[in-house]
Chain A
Amino acid sequence: MKRLEQLKNSGNKAFVAYIMAGDGGLGRLKEQVQYLQGAGVTAIEIGIPFSDPVADGPTIEAAGNRALKHGVTLQKVLEEMKSWTFQVEIPLLIMTYLNPVLKFGVERFASECSKAGVSAVIIPDLPYEHKELVQPHTDKEGIKLIQLVTLTTTDVRLADILSGAEGFVYAVTVKGITGSRDEMSEDVKAFMRKVREKSPVPVYAGFGISKSSHVDMLRDDVDGFIVGSAIVEAFNDNRIQEIEPLINAVTATHSV
């Protein structure tokens, strides 16, 4: 994850791609990761399907349900990743709801993630208050526990969350769930600036990033972008190449 710091210092923007593990069958995960790596993304978040994904919108929920129908589990995803022999050159993250982790065993989760080459984990329903449930175990394995901040996070909370932030900060751009949107609200820019000013680690904007116009609007206020629903949808519709311009729009070196 040091690379993310270096990228920030170089002034270039990060592009983090989210994919739902096992959407279309677990066999597709490898080719999707390879494809995205080849397309120049900075890191990949691998989503674990869950029966009750309350932080996700319809696109990712539907992808999760498709994956569940294929019998995809946290364990199978980690096993699959362990079997990979191709060169993984970018950080891989696991995004999962808390319950599958608890059922798997938190300590075991951390050590298996480590074996599978996972650099960081994101658990959207594990707020800052309860992170002690997981962090001691991920710390032990050198895996970062990524924190989320949102437009509704109060300043006091924001300071607390940022003071313990590691890896990068996932800044949620909308008051809502994941999913593509047409508009970005104006106060998002101010929020991103505030978070970035205080954050000791890079700040990436996520939830609702699907267009180059979103990227243009926030480019100067964040260190990177997380794109989920748009990629999940594109993979599902077999038109992933249409995402490449968005990746390029983010990662291209801009003269300031």
Chain B
Amino acid sequence: MTKVKICGLKEEQHVKAAERADAIGFVFAPSKRQVTIEQATELAKHIPVDTDKIGVFVNASLEEIEDAIARVPLTMVQLHGDEPDELVGAIQVPVIQAFSIRRKEDTDQLKKSIADYVLVDAPGTDYRGGSGKVFDWSLLDGADIDPSRLIVAGGLKPENVHAAITQTTPYMVDVSSGVETDGRKDTAKIQEFIKQVKDDSMEQTIEKVGFFGKYGGQFVPETLMKAVKELEDAYNEVKEDPEFQKEYHHYLSEYVGREQPLTFAQRMTESLGGPKIYLKREDLNHTGAHKVNNAIGQALLAMRMGKRKIVAETGAGQHGVATATICALFDLECVIFMGEEDIKRQQLNVFRMKLLGARVESVTKGSATLKDAVNEALRYWVSNVEDTHYLIGSALGPHPFPTMVRDFQSVIGDETKRQILEKEGRLPDAILACVGGGSNAIGMFYPFIKDKDVQLIGVEAAGQGVDTDRHAATLTKGTEGVLHGAMMKLLQDDAGQVQEAHSISAGLDYPGIGPEHAYLADIGRVEYRSITDKEALDAVISMSRLEGIIPALESAHAIAEAEKQAKTMTADQILVICVSGRGDKDMATYAEKLEGLS
């Protein structure tokens, strides 16, 4: 994890604000941030014992430096002048040598330095010791600097430190003017800077090993490990590749029809008498739901990996249809596993998949629903792993699937954020999305995770009620366990056997939940509630009649909860609902369940 150093502290309150930092810097050289050894000694009393205390010097003598080390006491020394190697070598504590980097050639000095660490900064202006100008990090590309001795400084601030870490992966980042307001340190900025480094690093660590807190991982048979690792590498590569991103967004706009509107639901807003309600219209995507966002991304990735055979599972059939569609578009061989029960419930989608050229395999094992379709798809993948990509449809499965699916679905939240800022000039107060495995919800929520004032609400299927044994409310009722390659929350019995889930909505009928949702629930960032079959059906009617939008049964769960949530909100607030799909596929269910509707 990248360490963080807050430099140039002069006041006790700022030292205390930097409590979570790994190092504090005291400037003993002439500067507006200069402190005396006496001042530093006083301030050092407020620094935690395991935090490094670093003295910053410019062309000081060894005696001056040793005096400061002994009296403050300092644990490290940072040199910003033209100190000779003899001096650097004579200092008994670890030494950081700072260099101003203007152009690529300057990076040679870094390699030659005999100091324990090298600090890179933009050229100073009025005095030596860093200017606060933004250092061009790309100068370090190809410079062959050992990242474990690299400290990056120069124009860092809370807003850009994440990018700096991503680009240079340094041992430590160093900030001074970036956490000041009008030339004086700013408590809030210090804390925000540390938070950005610490929290972002934590996120990077998580993604590296594929865990979100304790959830996630790669719990798959050894036969799949190679494929999972290859996928992880391939995904890491394309994530940063602008060409790949361009191609992905090209298909999203030219084929799927993005971007989708953020529709102001005027009549629904008036009817509920609470907040302004906006609908994110994933129902308008080609194939009728958000699933296609992910199918395109993964299919493009599969082709990059040289795989032209796709296997997928489907519950409601929306992911199966999206996958079959994309396979037709890219001329890929496509096998879809679907539970026998779901095939009965979603005959129209089964025919669509066949029409699109996919082979639909009926799964009769277990509960013959989504869970069992995933089992069969995994088995098929185990047996055909060399030439086949498993195009998983939700934010589930072994790493990197949950991260990758989230990223491909984040277009939902990214667009929503941009659109609401354009329309309202501010972020919404609450966002709701339905959760089965959790892909539309994580795609909608992820861009808002750090916006702590935005309340995020995931809505699970309560089926016939969470107190019955016929529901799919994994986070409300589930416990930790491993299924389909990841540690997550599961509906399971005392012996660890996974139980069948129940929901009127085939897309929410899954006994697990994506690992990132499990983590977000644990840390309290997202609140998860549940809606019964009946409440969802009622919301289908109200949405259809108020807005002329017939939602999918899955999305109706979010709408039903939004109706409740709206009652607790006021007219000056904003609520966004993710309408993840349209109701065409559910028309047979609606006709049956809502018979006699007038």
Q: Please state if B222 and A154 are interface contacts (CB–CB under 8 Å).
A: no
Q: Please state if B483 and A52 are interface contacts (CB–CB under 8 Å).
A: yes
- A98 to chain B: closest residue by CB: B482
Identify which of B217, B366, B379, B490 gathers the most chain A CB atoms within 10 Å of its CB: B379
1/0 per residue, CB under 8 A from B, across A108-149: the answer is 000000000000000011111110000000000000000011
Q: Please state if A73 and B495 are interface contacts (CB–CB under 8 Å).
A: yes
Check: B139 CB closer than 8 A to any chain A CB.
Answer: no
Interface residues on B, range: 35 or more
Q: Please state if B218 and A127 are interface contacts (CB–CB under 8 Å).
A: yes
One of A53, A127, A148 near B219 (C-beta < 8 A):
A127
- B219 to chain A: closest residue by CB: A125
Considering the complex, which residues of chain B in the window 179-234 have a beta carbon less than 8 Å from any beta carbon of chain A?
A: 217-227, 229
If A54-B484, A125-B482 touch, does A148 touch B495 (CB 8 Å cutoff)?
no
- CB B221 to nearest CB in A, in angstroms, measures 4
- A55 to chain B: closest residue by CB: B221
One of A65, A102, A149, A172 near B496 (C-beta < 8 A):
A102
- CB A86 to nearest CB in B, in angstroms, measures 26
Check: A74 CB closer than 8 A to any chain B CB.
Answer: yes
- A123 to chain B: closest residue by CB: B219
If A100-B495, A101-B496, A154-B226 touch, does A175 touch B386 (CB 8 Å cutoff)?
yes
Q: Please state if A103 and B481 are interface contacts (CB–CB under 8 Å).
A: yes
Considering the complex, which residues of chain A in the window 53-112 have a beta carbon less than 8 Å from any beta carbon of chain B?
A: 53-55, 57, 61, 65, 68, 73-75, 97-104
Check: B371 CB closer than 8 A to any chain A CB.
Answer: yes
One of B218, B383, B497 near A175 (C-beta < 8 A):
B383
Complex CA distance for A246 and B406, rounded to whole angstroms: 50
Complex CA distance for A166 and B371, rounded to whole angstroms: 34
Check: B260 CB closer than 8 A to any chain A CB.
Answer: no
- B209 to chain A: closest residue by CB: A129
One of B221, B384, B496 near A99 (C-beta < 8 A):
B496
Identify which of B219, B222, B482, B485 gathers the most chain A CB atoms within 10 Å of its CB: B222
Q: Please state if A54 and B382 are interface contacts (CB–CB under 8 Å).
A: yes
Q: Please state if B482 and A99 are interface contacts (CB–CB under 8 Å).
A: yes
Q: Please state if B365 and A61 are interface contacts (CB–CB under 8 Å).
A: yes
Cβ–Cβ < 8 Å partners of B365 in chain A: 61, 65
Cβ–Cβ < 8 Å partners of A104 in chain B: 495-496
Q: Please state if A127 and B222 are interface contacts (CB–CB under 8 Å).
A: yes
Q: Please state if B226 and A152 are interface contacts (CB–CB under 8 Å).
A: yes
Check: A157 CB closer than 8 A to any chain B CB.
Answer: yes
Check: A50 CB closer than 8 A to any chain B CB.
Answer: yes
If A51-B366, A52-B483, A175-B383 touch, does A124 touch B496 (CB 8 Å cutoff)?
no
- CB A156 to nearest CB in B, in angstroms, measures 10
Q: Please state if B484 and A148 are interface contacts (CB–CB under 8 Å).
A: no
One of A100, A103, A149 near B222 (C-beta < 8 A):
A149
Number of A interface residues, CB 8 Å?
Answer: 40
Q: Please state if A177 and B383 are interface contacts (CB–CB under 8 Å).
A: yes
Q: Please state if B217 and A152 are interface contacts (CB–CB under 8 Å).
A: no
Q: Please state if B222 and A148 are interface contacts (CB–CB under 8 Å).
A: yes
Cβ–Cβ < 8 Å partners of A51 in chain B: 366, 497-499
If A130-B217, A150-B222 touch, does A54 touch B495 (CB 8 Å cutoff)?
no
Check: A25 CB closer than 8 A to any chain B CB.
Answer: no
- CB B240 to nearest CB in A, in angstroms, measures 24
Q: Please state if B227 and A74 are interface contacts (CB–CB under 8 Å).
A: no
Q: Please state if A74 and B496 are interface contacts (CB–CB under 8 Å).
A: yes
One of B217, B227, B386, B484 near A52 (C-beta < 8 A):
B484
Q: Please state if B386 and A54 are interface contacts (CB–CB under 8 Å).
A: no
Q: Please state if A148 and B371 are interface contacts (CB–CB under 8 Å).
A: no
Q: Please state if B379 and A177 are interface contacts (CB–CB under 8 Å).
A: yes
Complex CA distance for A101 and B227, rounded to whole angstroms: 26
One of B222, B226, B492 near A172 (C-beta < 8 A):
B222
Complex CA distance for A97 and B375, rounded to whole angstroms: 13
Identify which of B371, B383, B386, B482 gathers the most chain A CB atoms within 10 Å of its CB: B482
Q: Please state if A172 and B484 are interface contacts (CB–CB under 8 Å).
A: no
Check: B535 CB closer than 8 A to any chain A CB.
Answer: no
If A55-B382, A153-B225 touch, does A103 touch B496 (CB 8 Å cutoff)?
yes
Complex CA distance for A100 and B383, rounded to whole angstroms: 25
Check: A245 CB closer than 8 A to any chain B CB.
Answer: no
Check: B494 CB closer than 8 A to any chain A CB.
Answer: yes
Check: A176 CB closer than 8 A to any chain B CB.
Answer: yes
Q: Please state if B220 and A125 are interface contacts (CB–CB under 8 Å).
A: yes
Complex CA distance for A103 and B482, rounded to whole angstroms: 10
Complex CA distance for A23 and B375, rounded to whole angstroms: 21
Q: Please state if A152 and B218 are interface contacts (CB–CB under 8 Å).
A: no
Cβ–Cβ < 8 Å partners of A102 in chain B: 480-482, 496
- CB A131 to nearest CB in B, in angstroms, measures 11
- A127 to chain B: closest residue by CB: B225
Complex CA distance for A126 and B495, rounded to whole angstroms: 18
- B383 to chain A: closest residue by CB: A176
- A157 to chain B: closest residue by CB: B225
Cβ–Cβ < 8 Å partners of A50 in chain B: 496-497
One of A52, A98, A101, A154 near B498 (C-beta < 8 A):
A52
Complex CA distance for A57 and B308, rounded to whole angstroms: 25
Q: Please state if B494 and A103 are interface contacts (CB–CB under 8 Å).
A: yes
Complex CA distance for A161 and B223, rounded to whole angstroms: 13
Q: Please state if B375 and A176 are interface contacts (CB–CB under 8 Å).
A: no
Q: Please state if B385 and A175 are interface contacts (CB–CB under 8 Å).
A: yes
Cβ–Cβ < 8 Å partners of B371 in chain A: 52
- A75 to chain B: closest residue by CB: B495
Complex CA distance for A99 and B371, rounded to whole angstroms: 15
Q: Please state if B495 and A152 are interface contacts (CB–CB under 8 Å).
A: no
Check: B378 CB closer than 8 A to any chain A CB.
Answer: yes
Cβ–Cβ < 8 Å partners of B485 in chain A: 125
- CB B379 to nearest CB in A, in angstroms, measures 5
- B227 to chain A: closest residue by CB: A152
Considering the complex, which residues of chain A in the window 155-203 have a beta carbon less than 8 Å from any beta carbon of chain B?
A: 157, 172, 175-177
Identify which of B219, B379, B479, B480 gathers the most chain A CB atoms within 10 Å of its CB: B219
- B499 to chain A: closest residue by CB: A51
- A124 to chain B: closest residue by CB: B221
If A100-B496, A101-B496, A125-B482 touch, does A52 touch B219 (CB 8 Å cutoff)?
no
Q: List 21 A-B contacts (CB under 8 A).
A: A52-B372, A52-B484, A52-B498, A54-B379, A55-B223, A61-B365, A68-B497, A73-B495, A98-B482, A99-B496, A99-B498, A103-B492, A104-B496, A124-B221, A127-B219, A130-B218, A151-B223, A152-B385, A153-B225, A153-B226, A176-B223
Q: A99-B496, A176-B223 given. 20 additional CB < 8 A pairs?
A: A54-B221, A54-B375, A54-B484, A55-B382, A57-B379, A97-B482, A99-B492, A102-B480, A103-B495, A124-B222, A125-B221, A130-B219, A149-B222, A152-B222, A154-B229, A172-B223, A176-B379, A176-B382, A176-B383, A177-B382
Per CB-CB distance, the 9 closest pairs between chain A and chain B, nearest first, are A103-B496, A100-B496, A73-B495, A176-B383, A55-B221, A152-B226, A51-B497, A148-B222, A150-B223
Interface of B with A (CB < 8 Å)?
Answer: 217-227, 229, 365-366, 371-372, 375, 378-379, 382-386, 479-485, 490, 492, 494-499
